[in-house]
Structure 1
């Protein structure tokens, strides 16, 4: 591995067997000149951005952040990737490091804060929330401070955002809120209550999250579906169909989009399945 460019004393761009990588390490950039061998003993983290054209911007942004928060963010993200068994967008390290640098030094002022999405994140994104709580434990251990649970909700949102490459943080907020509203409509319409984390319901919650993401990112969906099959299902399952109609009205009136018939068809079938499961 050889140095290509020094960004600061702790961050360099290097060539690793023909691939450009961003290398982090305390003092790894000190007196590092282009072409010099990299002291691999100093490496604490290596980043391989998804697209080569992003490497320079990625490294420039990292170099502007306090190094201690970059390392903390990498530990939290690595933990999240392991627990979620998923690849996260590398930019989540930048987002979390920036967040940590702005909030952790002032945690005493935020101890009493409550997240408006607290319930939604716990129940609609249980895996991400569990990973974020482990991330919070890492922060507490590393910084020897009893940071409030509020911080875990912020970490969870960053994990969710990093799982959906097409979404940004405002979109992630919107997806969580819309999904929660739809769950509420189903419960109210069918006069039922259910555990969003249960084995029977969780597949529907995942389907719903993906559905909301799809339309939030691109409301103009082209595939309409089979009209005859749609009419048959709507007639056969009137309660689930009525619930679906209420959901579509909410989405249309509040967010300016509604699912096409093919997606409504699957929504009705999922609602019917949940309703039948509650009746057992």
Structure 2
């Protein structure tokens, strides 16, 4: 299919039409250089075509590109492509807008001497290790490109964008998931009066389990029982009484705050993970 330019947004982004006559966004380095409406798009320069959530996405692109210098789109493209290769999965198209807007705002905030502390940085580093490593590389590129010294906190914020775009959820959901895990870890920490050994494999397994537990909770898709689970639950209740009591407190918090009733199977596996961490810290 031959694509023709309907509107030039900048040298790297144009609006075109698909075979149904619907708006699409076409992106590529220099794709619109010295071109105008009606010109044909060179196929070998096309790097990405956005067809989801158009024309809403097209309208947002036009607005943001009008307000934000082109170099921010270029660095956003590099960061997303690097993250895609590192994490080995694609992202929702909206990340191009949300991340570009975030980077621009962060650089502006830095130049005005305003930095925001990321209260969820530790949890983000543990919960989303791959996304955080990709975000650290992104932060290095941002600081080099714009001659800034944005702190590590910013990598945590960027990691949220990767998580959010990978799960096709909202940023609010991502923040809420992280905060629930943080609160749950605080309940465990206070109940046993211990500090976690965050570099241990058992702690990593606990956090990973909590991350998926919270996702199931938000999706309202609890684990279901098997005959083996029911027998194991009785064994766990008897042998890991302190850890099971801690899980009961966590379940109460989840129920009071979110109206979610954790299943016996959820309690079972969470108890096992907590017991492993407790033993490791003993």
Same fold, TM-score > 0.5, yes or no: yes
Contact 1:73 1:93 in 2 (8 A): yes
Match of 1:131, SS state, is: helix
Offset of residue 37 of structure 1: 3.5
Which segment drifts farther, 170-179 or 75-84? 75-84
User: What does residue 3 of structure 2 align with?
Assistant: 3
List alignment gaps of at least 5 residues for structure 2.
Answer: none
Offset of residue 75 of structure 1: 1.4
Cα distance in structure 2, aligned partners of 1:80 and 1:87? 9
User: What does residue 256 of structure 2 align with?
Assistant: 253
Offset of residue 153 of structure 1: 2.3
List alignment gaps of at least 5 residues for structure 1.
Answer: none
User: What does residue 119 of structure 1 align with?
Assistant: 122
User: What does residue 192 of structure 1 align with?
Assistant: 194
Provide Cα deviations, 1:82-107, integer angstroms capped at 9, x if missing partner.
33333322321111112223332232
User: What does residue 134 of structure 1 align with?
Assistant: 137
Contact 1:22 1:55 in 2 (8 A): no
Match of 1:195, SS state, is: coil
TM-score by length of 2: 0.81
Offset of residue 220 of structure 1: 6.7
Contact 1:7 1:60 in 2 (8 A): no
Contact 2:164 2:174 in 1 (8 A): yes
Contact 2:5 2:40 in 1 (8 A): no
Contact 1:28 1:39 in 2 (8 A): no
- Superposition CA RMSD, Å: 3.0
Offset of residue 9 of structure 1: 4.2
Contact 1:136 1:152 in 2 (8 A): yes
Cα distance in structure 2, aligned partners of 1:234 and 1:5? 66
Aligned partner (choices 230, 240, 243) of residue 243 of structure 2:
240
Provide Cα deviations, 1:143-189, integer angstroms capped at 9, x if missing partner.
22333333222212111212222x21111111111101111222232
Q: Structure 2 vs 1, CA of residues 225 and 138 (structure 1 numbering), >3 Å: closer, same or farther? A: same
Cα distance in structure 2, aligned partners of 1:189 and 1:88? 39
Q: How many residues align?
A: 270
User: What does residue 174 of structure 1 align with?
Assistant: 176
